[in-house]
Structure 1
Amino acid sequence: MALTALGWPEFMWNWKQAIPLFGYVCSVGEDIPIDNECVSGDFVNLKMICRCSLSKMLIGVGARNSRGINRRRRPRRRPDFPTPRGMARNKEGLVLLLDVGPSMHRALQELVFHRSDEVGVVLFGTKETHNDLARELGGYKHVLVKHDIKVVDEETKNALENLPRGTAPVLDAIVVGLDMLIKRFGDTKAKQRLCLITDAQHLLRDPPQGTKEDQVDTIADQMKKHDIKMDCIVFRESGVQHNSVMDENDRLLYHFRDRSVAKVVQVDTPTALLGALKTRNVLPVTIFRGDLEVSSTFKIKVWAYKKTSEEKFPTLKKYSDKAPPSDQFASHEVKVDYEYKSILEPDTVVPPDQRIKGYLYGPQVVPISSAEWEAVKFKPEKGVKLLGFADRSSIPRSYFMKDVNSFVPEPGNTKAIVAVSALARAMQEMNKVAILRCVWRQNQANVAFGVLTPNISSVNNVPDSFYFNILPFAEDIRDFPFRSFSSLPPSSQPTEEQQEAADNLVKMLDLAPPGREEILRPDFTPNPMLERFYSYLDLKSKQPDANPPPLDSCLRRITEPDPDVINYRAPLIQNLGKSFELKENPKRKKARTQERLAYTDPDDQAKSSENNAEKATAADGQAKKPEDPYAEKARAIEVLFPSTEKVGKIGDVNPVKDFEAMLAERSSSIWVQKAIEEMKKYTTNLVQNSLQGDYYEKALECFVALRKACIIEQEPEEYNQFVTKLYERLKKVDDVVKFFQLLSSKNVLLICKEEAPDSDVTEEMARSFFMKTEISSE
């Protein structure tokens, strides 16, 4: 008899009778985390996981049950899925299927639920049998319904503590959990989910008729009919040897995934299990539905979702303990009122209609009314427009800002699916990305400017899509130029031995070693701060005076290096410490900007080193290691450049010293630019007003100081453009041409790339510039 031809009640009976006793879902025990992407079973600290999850849920329950709490109402948003009658939009029906087999008994402790979820707990592998199917139909032994489906509360958490041990088949547990969901929600469109956690190491019996694959197909058909999804988490430690039984069980579990009714994830560490079990699903809500406008005649229907978004800490409310303990209806609410008073009349309260916002514009406060602000606001039209394409390499990863969004073709729209796939595959083949201008909502205050990256699907029934990252504007970018390591003296660069020791340290702590699964994958790594917060919150609810407990071992493996690796590689770490000898660095007076300007050229540094060596030999009678020229320079600077008073202008007595004093003034960001501009004006006047070269020596000193300052302050273009424009304007004056010849003879060239990475001038170009000057003079 074909099961699909039967009515539901009769089919239900036949279907249940046909299921063999097989399987495991979740086990209880020591330190293993849990997620909703797969079924796993081994060592999870079930107590810890349960406390954390339920304390997270109880935050919402407490806010909902307290009377008089002033809650901020959020705007309602249309969900992407129908809301079942009698259920909140974010509400979910969930049945946990927990394998309590021997290898699974130290794995499940802290499950996180939404405050309006309805949760049931089914244990299989127990000595006791308690479920409706066993009473109605017989069979289904060693499957215990520990907690019926109802809104999560303290009883739900208690159901996950003190779990028994034993073994039982997985498919029985799946059928019992499926039966609980169908009886509870019927034909409604409520979100329903099974969460299976197991090690899948036990042999399954052959069914009375058909094959095991047929039984899986029968269950999958019913799950599809009632829109029930299953998350399977298979936990096996890395040392477990695979056998034919485990391979067969894996194949059957993955058959659920192939039927599009389950997700299967395998984990091998307690930390990964803690991160893999997500008992609270976030409802996917679109941030945009509309056209991806390639041109006025070519538009693609797309939906945009958030792909990654930071999970925030729960909002902590102000609480008052002034109410009597016996008052059961006290809300303990704290109300905060603000009063605005005039400085001239401190006793007079300024009403709202007499207040206006003001914005600082320099030292001035500019008042802007609400009506004026609304008129000034940019109110673009809703839409997503393609601006063009760029090479993938031209968009550095450091430019990505905020959350990541996913663009998918409109569900059920074949033309949109084909268009998105064609565009994504063309971009992938040409190694291109698209630049978009996005306005998610009508009259949105800001415009998102971002990059669209193709995401080619590897699954046949999943269409291609795009990832969208917001790009910065010019005001958002922060440049931090640093001196190149190659420009440092040899004494400041690592030796081959030091470099090898550092390379070995990186290899030792590699989180994705060859032949092993990646450690601390983001998909399976929970936020240790959130987990610890919820765990402590649960403890405080029971013991108000409790101190924070030590960090759990699962969370410790996230926040600290693996102690096993550290102990195993102790000699390598000791070798690293020996390779880098630490010396005491004597404290010295902080150098000022004018001190940093007094740097020496490479030739001067070499001479200084030789002089140091000669002095050391004369003093001690034997050669000593030459002193670092940089250390000598630091001492000389203290004497050569004493602190100066604030100077706002470059004078004729000592223009170089005035210039350095202006650079040293850091009370405002404009002082460096102001100093450079002042020196450029002063130097130009010296060159122009020189009579038969009487000011050339002074102008040369100013040019040298200006050039050094532009190199240190990373402003090479300021100097290069100044010299070029000055020459173009005065090149027909014979005396001025002689001055440029003087600069060339003193090797005061344009600033090249070797001296400042931001410069566009090569060394050859810098020297050829003065050669042109000499030719024009001839």
Structure 2
Amino acid sequence: MMSEMRSRSVLNRATYTGDFEVGSRMRVQVQLFTRCREQLLPSLKKESTLGTDTKAVITDRVYKNKFSDYANGDANANANVNVNVNANANADSNDNKGLPEDERIPSYLYGKQRIPFTQEDKNRLDYASGEKHFQLLAFTDKKLIPRSHFMGPVMVCVAQAGNQGSAMTLSTFIHGCFEKNRVAIARLVSRKNAAPKLVVLEPRIKASGECFVVNELPFYEDIRNYPFASFAFNKKFQPTAQQIEAAKNLVNSLNLMEEDDNEGEKELLRPQEMFNPILQRFYENLQCRALDPNAPIQPLSPTIIKYLEPPEEVFRKAEPALKEFAEKFPVTVIRCVISCATFSKKEAKKERKHWSELNDEINDLLQGLSLKKEEVKVKEEIDEDMNIHFNQMLEINAITKIGTKSPIHDFDQLLKKRSSPDHFQK
């Protein structure tokens, strides 16, 4: 029974029940229900103790005072010094004793420093959103809210059951927004002192009923604006009219809407008919293990394989458009042969660095070294876009010995190299 393709039955409970505040004088009794949400696998961290002699694992952690200056409140004393504590050598030291729970202070990394935060600091930083509420902020044009900004699960807003006045008032707002092609922006706090959410209410009118579809909107900190170069600056990157027409034909040929004699147009991949292959695969093997604990992992069923592969009928109809697209956009394989003597795999891995790591290294070098005018050389090599590369503008000498200006930084840089056994003698 569990191996059959079916959806999970979920008890539909309201995530919010209360007033929808429209201004200071109007309150509409509404309810919010979850309409669409990602279904995850059940937790595999729980184990059954029936029929097995198992004992609970007790994790005993011992917190030791690694940095004594932090306990005294001096957080900047060891900010730029890396100290390795040897537990065997300092077993009798006062700084290596276990700390009681009331003396422990959590800390957070800010760059390379650890900033301690007490419980009082957390209480002061916590934002008190107040009692639960659902407030209307404004109405705006539907075109100004892109679908790419929708976040989190989808909810529906309906009037409270049995309240005719609230149902009539909410229906008026739904029809007004639908006719004007506008949406409502609201602030939602589902429970007391919960994190406030900025939501958009989009009207939905069907024969079965009418409601507001609620989607969460991002704040400014949640939006990621990535700058991408335009193809217009170089003519060789601009497609021709034939290439644009071939791309349009390919998109139109892979349309999922198909004609049906009874329903007119029918969607090929409907969410109501598509099951999650991961969940179905999991419950299929769970049924076998329930009947036989030693049963092996079952092979993939044809139904699950069908979900993981593109539909054959659609690509069979789009075969002429695919051939035309391949002819208009020829692809050639470029073979790049690199000599192992000049560039090994280990060196290639070392060259792959995240920008944040590279930025930290540059900042460390700039802080620890005094750059002289004769050490900065500006090269005349300029690329096609008339931009001078950063590595062509700065040329910083490597650290070979421990100086007097920043000996701690020089010592750390020499240890990071690990290229010569004579660094400790220097």
The two structures have a TM-score, normalised by structure 1, of 0.38
Contact 1:434 1:452 in 2 (8 A): yes
CA contact (8 A) 1:288 1:304 kept: yes
Is 1:388 equivalent to 2:138 in the alignment? yes
Structure 2: how far apart are the matches of 1:525 and 1:665?
Answer: 56
What CA distance in whole angstroms lies between the structure 2 residues aligned with 1:457 and 1:333?
A: 56
Q: In 1, Cα distance between the equivalents of 2:287 and 2:257?
A: 35
Match of 2:220 in 1: 474
What is residue 339 of structure 1 aligned with on the other side?
61
Name the residue aligned to 1:581: 330
Residues in 2 aligned to 1:419 and 1:482: alpha-carbon distance in whole angstroms: 46
Structure 2 vs 1, CA of residues 297 and 533 (structure 1 numbering), >3 Å: closer, same or farther?
Answer: same
TM-superposition CA deviations, 1:750-774 (whole Å, max 9, x none): xxxxxxxxxxxxxxxxxxxxxxxxx
Q: Which of 147, 155, 164 matches 1:405?
A: 155
Q: Which residue does the alignment assign to 1:283?
A: 11
Q: Give matches, 1:695-734, under 5 Å.
A: none
Q: Which residue of 1 is the match for residue 201 of structure 2? A: 452
SS, match of residue 20 in structure 2: strand
Distance 1:379 1:354, change over 3 A: same
Superposition TM-score, scaled by structure 2 size: 0.67
CA deviation map 1:617-663 (0-9, x unaligned): xxxxxxxxxxxxxxxxxxxxxxxxxxx9x778795975676994547
**Shift in alpha-carbon separation, 1:552–1:500, aligned structure 2, 3 A:** farther
Q: Given the alignment of the two structures, is residue 441 of structure 1 paired with residue 177 of structure 2, yes or no?
A: no
Q: Give the conservation status (yes or no) of the 8 Å contact 2:250–2:318.
A: no
How far has the Cα of 1:340 moved from its partner?
Answer: 3.1
In 1, Cα distance between equivalents of 2:393 and 2:22: 52
Counterpart of 2:45, as a letter, is K
Q: 1:567 to 1:458 in 2, by over 3 A?
A: closer
Q: How much has 1:425 moved relative to structure 2?
A: 1.1
- Where do residues 72-91 of structure 1 align in structure 2 (5 Å cutoff)? none
| Distance (Å, rounded) in 1 between the aligned partners of 2:393 and 2:217 | 35
Write the distance in 2 (CA, Å) between the matches of 1:458 and 1:452: 19
Question: Comparing both structures, which one devotes a greater share of its residues to helix?
Answer: 1
Question: What is the CA–CA distance in structure 2 between the aligned matches of 1:290 and 1:318, rounded to whole Å?
Answer: 36
Check whether the contact 2:378–2:393 (CA below 8 A) recurs between aligned residues.
no
Counterpart selection for 1:521 from 270, 276, 281: 270
Cα distance, 1:311 vs structure 2: 0.7
Q: Which residue of the other structure, out of 326, 330, 349, is the alignment partner of 2:52?
A: 330
The one-letter amino acid paired with 1:439 is V
- Whichever residue aligns with residue 16 of structure 2, its letter is F
Sequence identity of aligned pairs in percent?
31
Name the structure, 1 or 2, with higher relative contact order (CA <8 Å, separation 6+). Answer: 2
Letter in 2 for 1:524: E
Cα separation, 2, equivalents of 1:295 and 1:535: 53
Whether the aligned pair in 1 keeps the contact of 2:14 and 2:31 (CA below 8 Å) is yes
Q: Find the counterpart in structure 2 of residue 303 from structure 1.
A: 31
Q: Which residue of 2 aligns with 1:415?
A: 165
Q: 1:431 aligns with which of 163, 166, 181?
A: 181
Distance 2:287 2:322 in 1: 40
Q: How many pairs are equivalent?
A: 329
C-alpha spacing 1:542/1:657, structure 2 compared with 1 (3 Å) = farther
- Which residue is 2:120 aligned to? 371
8 Å CA contact 2:198–2:216 kept in 1: the answer is yes
Tell me: CA distance 1:540–1:574, structure 2 relative to 1, closer, same or farther (3 Å).
farther
Q: CA deviation at 1:372?
A: 2.9
Equivalent AA in structure 2 for residue 502 of structure 1 = A
- Equivalents in 2 of 1:532, 1:292: separation in Å? 42
Q: Secondary structure at the match of 1:531?
A: helix
Confirm or deny: 8 A CA contact 1:434 1:451 kept in the other structure.
Answer: yes
Given the superposition, is the C-alpha separation of residues 340 and 390 from structure 1 closer, same or farther in structure 2, using an over 3 Å criterion?
Answer: farther
User: Within 5 Å, which residues of 2 pair with 1:746-761?
Assistant: none
Q: Structure 2 CA distance, aligned partners of 1:345 and 1:354?
A: 22
Q: 1:294 to 1:545 in 2, by over 3 A?
A: same
Q: Measure how far apart 1:505 and its partner are.
A: 3.2
Q: CA deviation at 1:405?
A: 1.5
Q: Which residue of 2 aligns with 1:465?
A: 211
Whether the 8 Å contact between 2:30 and 2:160 is mirrored in structure 1 is yes
**2:19–2:29: 8 Å Cα contact kept in structure 1?**
yes
Structure 2, gaps ≥5 residues long: 67-84, 92-96, 339-361, 382-386, 395-426
RMSD of aligned alpha carbons: 3.5
- Aligned-partner Cα distance in 2 for 1:316–1:540: 14
Residue 510, structure 1, aligned to residue 255, structure 2 = yes
CA–CA distance in structure 2, aligned partners of residues 500 and 425 of structure 1? 40
- Write the letter of the residue equivalent to 2:35: K
Residues 398-434 of structure 1 deviation map (CA, whole Å, 9 limit, x = unaligned): 1111111111111111110111011111111111111
Q: Which has the larger radius of gyration?
A: 1
Contact 2:199 2:217 in 1 (8 A): yes
Check 1:439–1:656 CA distance in 2 against 1; reply closer, same or farther (3 A cut): farther
Matching of residues 560-579 of structure 1 within 5 Å:
560-567=309-316, 570=319, 572-579=321-328
The code of the aligned residue for 2:59 comes to D
Residue 300 of structure 1 and its aligned partner are, at CA, apart by 1.0
Cα 1:319–1:282, aligned 2, differ >3 Å: closer, same or farther?
A: closer
Describe the superposition over 1:27-66 as per-residue Cα deviations: whole angstroms up to 9, x where unpaired.
Answer: xxxxxxxxxxxxxxxxxxxxxxx233xxxxxxxxxxxxxx
What is the DSSP-based 3-state SS (H/G/I as helix, E as strand, rest coil) of the residue aligned with 1:421? helix
**Closer, same or farther in 2 for the Cα pair 1:566/1:388, shift >3 Å?**
closer
